[in-house]
Chains A and B, each alone.
Chain A
Amino acid sequence: MSRSDKNRASFKEFLRDERGIAFVYMTACIPVFIGFAALAVQGSYAISQRNMLQITAEAAALAATAKLPNPSVAISAAQTYAAKNMPSASYGTVLASGDVIIGQWNEGCAAGGQACFVAGAQPYNAVKVTTRRSAANGNRLASFVSNFASFDVSATAIATFGYGAGSGSQATWNAIIVEDISESFATQLKNARAADQALLDCMHQNAAAGSELGISLFTGVSPSPPYQTRIPVSDTADYNTLKNKISGINQCGSNGMPACSGSNAAAGMNSAISQFCPTHPCASAGPAGSREALVVVTDGIPDCGSTKGCSNTTLLNNATTAANTAAADGMDVYTIYYGSSSSDAAWLATLIRGNGLALQTPTAAQLPILMQQICSQMPHRLVW
């Protein structure tokens, strides 16, 4: 047998020899096993991160909605809560400012889903937040395998306020505007009416079915009967009634308006309180979670004007007592101050109760925006 025949025979024998074949198979398969295991770990990690991003987006969207209609404040709130849930030190920037979109949620729109959110549409009533771990944000998920397995993860949430008129027996949000129509506020009454209309429109669009709005006007006259008793905002006829009554608000002394005699906020507040709560103590008659709000709109602290035998101190104390009474009956007291006196603003801030806010502007044209800010304090909910 020649040398080449020997080699050929050895090679054939080697091919037939099955000893050690498991080693060959394992050598080929181990990288595949490791790859699948790594993919499983990577996939689980991605799902976990996606869940965290979703919860973070929800917390951010809900917090931002409470800051509407001011976009910059809403964006800041969203980023704050995103960072509280996924700190940048651990996760990078999960929420870029461009991923917080302010707009309008149209309840029950035909398109359904995210298409019901219209970015930039006003008046704002919703915030869309998209949290990301992405290449664009510089915090892409770390890869255990290769660049092939590295991918972006994102989650979106949309929050709005109120339950909408189409809701069932949801918590209602009821308000009575307590409006100053004294002489000093006469020039700005046009803006105050626009603010009242803004609140009416906001409630009409967003408040749960059964939510009501009323109006009490005040000068220095006490007691001050309701200008418009509270009626449902979702009902078209009632909405038009309220709209007409708002347009009919005029300065004191005008036809149908109380006489001019100073400014007694307590008279208006007590009128509003009596509407919500004819006898004390009382609780909200609406479904669980319903709120009642007094919205005091004025250009200064109470004063007697030219009324004889009147004490400014008494008027101030009466307003405080009225706020305490409202709080005892579970009402929220909001104040909107038109003016630039820091001492007046500080005193009016002492009237807020419950979920109330103390808002101030020296610009009358801003009054409707402040009223929308109050409207955005309705219960917040996720719609996506």
Chain B
Amino acid sequence: MMNAAREASRSMAVQALTSGQAQSIAANYLTTYPETFSYSVVDGCSSTPKGQWADVTVTITTGAAAASIINYLNMFTGKNVTASVTMRKELAC
């Protein structure tokens, strides 16, 4: 999940990608895993003046119970595992 978030974040940082495209990059990275992942891509340009640099943050979340090998006494049920990566966008907003 960390690596997927990293790939999506870096790709969006260096290219003029939409949030959806960045999410697709992360999703493609995780296609071999059976867990269900949820994605959040925050493009800082939405709140940054034109001509300034912003960040892009990609956050991937999945259920801890699904990711665990043993969910002893349901101790992971209802909890999440989250990976988040923030990078500086190379292109000005």
Q: Chain A: residues with CB nearer than 8 A to chain B? A: 48, 51-52, 55, 58-59, 62-63, 66, 77, 81, 84-85, 289, 352-356, 379-380
Contact at A84–B92, with CB atoms within 8 Å?
A: no
Contacts of B91 in A (CB 8 A): 355
Chain A residues with Cβ under 8 A from B92's Cβ?
354-356
Q: A58-B6, A84-B86, A355-B91 are in contact. List 9 more A-B contacts (CB 8 A).
A: A51-B3, A55-B85, A59-B9, A59-B85, A59-B86, A62-B87, A62-B88, A85-B84, A356-B51
State in angstroms the CA–CA spacing of A348 and B88 once bound together.
Answer: 25
Jot down 17 A-B pairs with beta carbons below 8 A, ordered by A. Answer: A51-B2, A52-B2, A55-B3, A55-B85, A59-B85, A59-B88, A62-B13, A63-B88, A66-B53, A66-B88, A66-B90, A81-B87, A81-B88, A85-B85, A289-B15, A356-B92, A379-B14
Docked pose: A380 CA to B92 CA in angstroms: 14
For residue A266, give the distance in angstroms from its CB to the closest CB of chain B.
20
Task: Please indicate the chain A residues that have their CB under 8 angstroms from the CB of B86 in the complex.
Answer: 59, 81, 84-85
Contact call B3/A59, Cβ cutoff below 8 A = no
Chain B positions within 8 Å of A380 at CB level:
90
**A379/B88 contact (C-beta < 8 A), A51-B3, A352-B51 known:** no
* A59 touching B90 in the complex, CB below 8 Å, given contacts A51-B3, A52-B2: no
Query: Would you give the shortest CB distance from A334 to chain B, in whole angstroms?
Result: 11
Enumerate B25-71 residues with CB–CB distance to A below 8 Å: 51, 53, 55, 57
Instruction: Check A84 against B55 for contact (C-beta < 8 Å).
Output: yes
Cβ contacts under 8 Å, A356 to chain B: 51, 92
Residues of B within 8 A of A353 (CB): 51
Contacts of A77 in B (CB 8 A): 88
With both beta carbons as reference points, the residue of chain B lying nearest to A332 in the complex is identified as B92
In the complex, which residue of chain B has the Cβ closest to the Cβ of A48?
A: B2
Residue of B at shortest CB range from A352?
A: B51
Q: Which residue of B lies closest to A381 (CB)?
A: B14
Contacts of A81 in B (CB 8 A): 86-88
Q: Which 3 A-B pairs have the closest CB atoms?
A: A84-B86, A63-B88, A55-B6
| In the bound complex, CA of A305 to CA of B87 (Å) | 47
Compute how far the CA of A77 lies from the CA of B53 in the bound complex, rounded to whole angstroms: 12
C-alpha gap A77/B84 in the complex (Å): 19
A356 to B10, CA, bound (A): 21
Closest to A380 in B: B90
Q: Which B residues lie within 8 Å of A354 (CB)?
A: 92
Rounded to whole Å, the gap between the CB of A291 and the closest CB of chain B is: 9
Residues in A neighbouring B51, C-beta threshold 8 A: 352-353, 356
**For B15, what are the chain A residues with a Cβ–Cβ distance below 8 Å?**
289
CA gap between A66 and B53 in the complex, in Å: 11
Least CB distance, A169 to chain B, in whole angstroms: 16
- Given the complex, which residues of B lie within 8 Å of A48, measured CB to CB? 2
Q: How far in angstroms is the closest Cβ of chain B from A265?
A: 18
CB of B2 within 8 A of CB of A55, answer yes
Most B Cβ at <10 Å: residue of A63, A81, A356: A63
Are A59 and B14 in contact, with the CB atoms below 8 A? no
Smallest CB–CB gap between A191 and chain B, Å?
Answer: 27
In chain B, what residue has the closest Cβ to A52?
Answer: B2
Q: Is the CB of A59 within 8 A of B87?
A: yes
